[in-house]
A and B are shown apart, each in its own frame.
Chain A
């Protein structure tokens, strides 16, 4: 984490307090600032205590399902642990979606369930009531525990916060019975509030061995086609700017993982495209041709092609920098492994690079060759979008995204991107300078977390405006939270890519042979938003977008744009994704499927041919 969290102060001796009081006091001591809390009779004691605790802000979503996604993005923006607190039982289990998403993003979210006492005794009648949510969360949290006594609570909360911040960080679930919340106790003067020294140590940056730095720089100096690959760890360590500086200083092209969408500054001369597949053939060219890759805070997940063949060249020598030793050589092997804080390591590398600057090879032509491919990709898609003519008069999603992005780039607005095809369109032209400006549920690519994420981000971001890119498939998942946006008149702009389909899946179906269950009804989402009292507009022409955005930016409240787009076009980066996720599964399809493919209408065939062309370019 880039910002140190306060070292825990010991609670004042002998002060009698309720369990709720102890909980909020401990959270505040641990540096927690935001609690996204379900409004429920069981959470009321904690709410009342939190409102009395200085430094804590309590936000009530409309539905408990939204608590964790809001906390997730809030923690990613602030770099600090954030709490999601709900009632127990089914309410708590409704956090599985948010927790899985936050776990995928390795966000320091502390989920707390206030549990009613469950049926006692050994009767099978009560077995299911006694189901422990901690067991459900066990595989999607780095730590989970039930508080069994008032006196244990402080220690368990402290440990939860430490675990959430340790190494790569992650989600934590803590179950607290309501009778402990309602009971009182006092901390004696020698009561340990947790291992405070250990807690502080989590925050202390770890430096790389000088020997490893020398080896890394030597390897880079010998490289013909080196590349820097920045992951989410670089953002978490607060090393985004430094990584950019290192690339610029060394003259090495820089790409990023999908988990670090905005880490590379588009103005950086070493910028050769947006994250991972979104850079199209530029990414594929770079990972096929590179001979040395300096990976900073990246673990090479599926959205990055695993760092392995067939997408990545098997000949690459990786220098891997990671705070967590288990993520070293997690997928591709490491030539040089450095376990250290990314920020410290990049600083060390910078110093060493400066010392050998005269010996740095000229990699200009290598950089240009990647850039050329990236610009070619963008121009091709932009040209397709410009010349797009659909039978039903709907817009090309890329054209719509470009029109909105143009306005965003000029502002300091923060951007949330929901799951589905929309991030592929939005990310393809990513020219939004970060870090911590673009947020996407990377690990799970969860549909429908957009509205809660935008709300969580707005909570943390103060006066900055938030823009949400979402699709019609995603929008309705958590539509109830529009009520919260309206209640506080939050200046959140929602752009809906309304293509009347689950179009990411539909694209896959078209590659096979027919569409089943992926069509969505024609729906006017502007009317839906208006029923919440949110100003909204249906957009059916590109010319309407600039004026509509100007109006939205000049207003102090929310606005939703329902942009009618064509579902017969697909982002070509989707083909890269399908290649990896379905590797080996899609190739040998039965003959009847091939026949069906040829029997399909020409329009669908043309789409497939486009995808095939793209795949050829990426190979």
Chain B
């Protein structure tokens, strides 16, 4: 017989679910959970300075493919967290969010307790699953269920509330009871779902007969780390590929089939060029590729559409499909590669198709760069990014944040290796890049991390420089400031960074001051450093 608090049951289940780091900002109601985590040698608390940053760090951690957990305290804590958990919701990241609630006899409806609000209702629209763990005996089961749902196709965040009396409540648990709570069984499917052979054959036939095929690749290829499998298929079949920004690093920059990101093609000219396709191969569609395929099909291109998705309901939901495949990404790509044989040698493939699109890509890239910022800034930004790209090894993680910085990087950065770059180009969660990078560094401490960001983005979570220093989450930060906008009174980021004990230097002439050697020294040195670059 052993005594278990509700908190002990929570942590025991988390350990069994493989959680190793918990991102949290402390709260009184969570104290026993913190104690239980502290008692587990395999678990570690990471305490940033803001619940929103904690959630984004958990998102970064999840992007590295590890079980991810964020914990915020009742009321104000979860309120700070919610905005950032919405990022996990949109980006399909399986983050487990845990929070305490006030006592079970004083919640729902609330009784004007300090910090009480219906937090489950706040999270309901932005999570796949939410529940209140009213009884200690349901804790293991509900956490397991939440994790299972978070990981299931269209992954996403889940949220569980636990009343404080359940967290603090203790009871002696017999061996047989413990066995019932933690049975030695599997609780979720781990593996991959193979597609139907018939569906694969049908899709392969469509692609094989195509003269001008086009692949559109969405974020789940990136999340599934399926880049190599994707490239095997594309190289075997010679199909050119457009990626969404979330799947940017699923295709090597140097690939002759890489048509760049979807943003390049979302203009009249780009859509017209892509509309010449006669077969669209839509792989794990997301919002960006979903819009693009609709734009193409709306032009009455008459193209056949082959769609693959993990979620059966997605197939055919965007545009009518000629052939649909449901299954996990990697087996789908592998089976298709096996079934496709050697399309490239196919006599009816139009030889000028890929070169013409490549030419169009160059024009679109110039137009895109013109739109995302003033030419001189974008040019200077591209110059720095080029130097960073030259020194970053395939294992270096690069996180790009901000419309101009990420937009320029997506268009000009050439990277070798796969799944090593995160692009935060839209402004759904402004400033998410820095905490995401911290979370990724936490998950993969042995890898070098470079953050390329802009002042407007960085300032929103700049406080986490303290977290970076505290937990030795060292990275090199290249921060771009707008010389035209920057008024005299704007924060001096170099001094700000130094006040947290991190090395920093101000750079006003990046062409001269950032030499390839400087960048190489910093990126390879594994020291935290910030370059405050005025463009």
Show the binding face of A for B, using Cβ within 8 Å: 40, 62-65, 87, 89-91, 93-97, 99-101, 103-104, 119, 121-129, 131-132, 135-136, 138-140, 299-303, 306, 330-331, 419, 441, 443-448, 476-477, 479-480, 482-483, 486-487, 502, 504-505, 508-509, 512, 514, 516-518, 521, 523-524, 527-528, 530-533, 577-578, 581-586, 588-590, 592
Contacts and interface: CB of A to CB of B under 8 A. Distances in A.
Contacts of A523: 466, 499-500
Interface string B89-122: 1101000000000110010000111111110011
A311 to B, nearest CB: 14
Contacts of B285: 125
Contact of A93 (B86, B165, B491): B86
A517 B32 CA distance: 12
A124 B313 contact: yes
Contact of A103 (B117, B314, B430): B117
Contact of B76 (A136, A301, A447): A447
A268 B525 CA distance: 66
Given A65-B83, A123-B290, A483-B459, A505 B116 contact: no
Contacts of B80: 96-97, 448, 477
Given A301-B114, A444-B75, A446-B79, 16 more contacts: A63-B430, A91-B427, A93-B126, A96-B82, A97-B83, A104-B75, A123-B318, A125-B286, A139-B117, A306-B111, A443-B114, A444-B114, A477-B463, A512-B32, A523-B500, A533-B492
Given A90-B429, A301-B113, A138 B121 contact: yes
Contact of A131 (B92, B126, B493): B126
B496 interface: yes
Given A89-B428, A505-B28, A581-B102, A135 B125 contact: yes
Contacts of B106: 302
Nearest 5 A/B pairs, CB to CB: A301-B112, A123-B317, A94-B83, A531-B495, A100-B79
B102 A487 contact: no
B487 interface: yes
A480 B462 contact: yes
B164 interface: yes
B83 to A, nearest CB: 4
B173 interface: no
Contacts of A583: 103
24 contacts: A91-B430, A97-B80, A121-B318, A125-B290, A131-B86, A131-B90, A140-B122, A302-B102, A446-B79, A477-B80, A479-B463, A483-B459, A487-B489, A505-B28, A508-B31, A516-B35, A521-B469, A530-B499, A532-B489, A532-B496, A533-B489, A533-B491, A581-B114, A589-B170
B363 interface: no
B487 A487 contact: yes
B344 interface: no
B483 interface: no
A582 B45 contact: no
Contacts of A124: 154, 311, 313-314, 317
B24 interface: yes
Contacts of B112: 299-302, 306, 330-331
Nearest to B39: A516
Contacts of A101: 76, 79
A128 B156 contact: yes
A306 B116 CA distance: 13
Nearest to B490: A483
B258 to A, nearest CB: 23
B111 A140 contact: no
Nearest to A125: B290
B125 A126 contact: no
Given A476-B50, A508-B31, A136 B317 contact: no
Contacts of A532: 489, 491-492, 496
Contacts of B313: 124
Contacts, number: 253
Contacts of B24: 517
Nearest to A301: B112
A517 B460 contact: no
Contact of B31 (A129, A446, A509): A509
Contacts of B431: 63
Interface in B306-320: 311, 313-314, 317-318
B490 A445 contact: no
Contacts of B35: 512, 514, 516
A448 B50 contact: yes
Interface string B119-146: 0011011100000000000000000000
A40 B462 CA distance: 20
Contact of B86 (A90, A447, A518): A90
Contacts of A502: 25-26
Contact of A419 (B45, B76, B87, B167): B76
Contacts of A592: 3
B103 A585 contact: yes
B8 to A, nearest CB: 10
A121 B291 CA distance: 11
A119 B79 contact: no
A584 B82 contact: no
B76 A445 contact: yes
A480 B290 CA distance: 36
B164 A585 contact: yes
A130 B204 CA distance: 33
A584 B163 CA distance: 12
B49 A125 contact: no
Contact of B114 (A330, A445, A482): A445
Given A119-B291, A123-B314, A586-B168, A140 B117 contact: yes
Contact of A96 (B83, B317, B493): B83
Interface string B204-222: 0000000000000000000
B290 A302 contact: no
Contacts of A581: 28-29, 102, 113-114, 164
A85 to B, nearest CB: 16
Nearest to B34: A516
Contact of B3 (A448, A476, A590): A590
Given A100-B117, A140-B122, A590-B3, A518 B26 contact: yes
B470 interface: yes
B355 interface: no
Contacts of B500: 523, 528
A585 B169 contact: yes
A306 B76 CA distance: 20
Contacts of A512: 31-32, 35
A590 B29 CA distance: 17
A131 B125 contact: yes
A438 to B, nearest CB: 18
B511 interface: no
B121 A139 contact: yes
B115 A444 contact: yes
B314 A527 contact: no
B394 interface: no
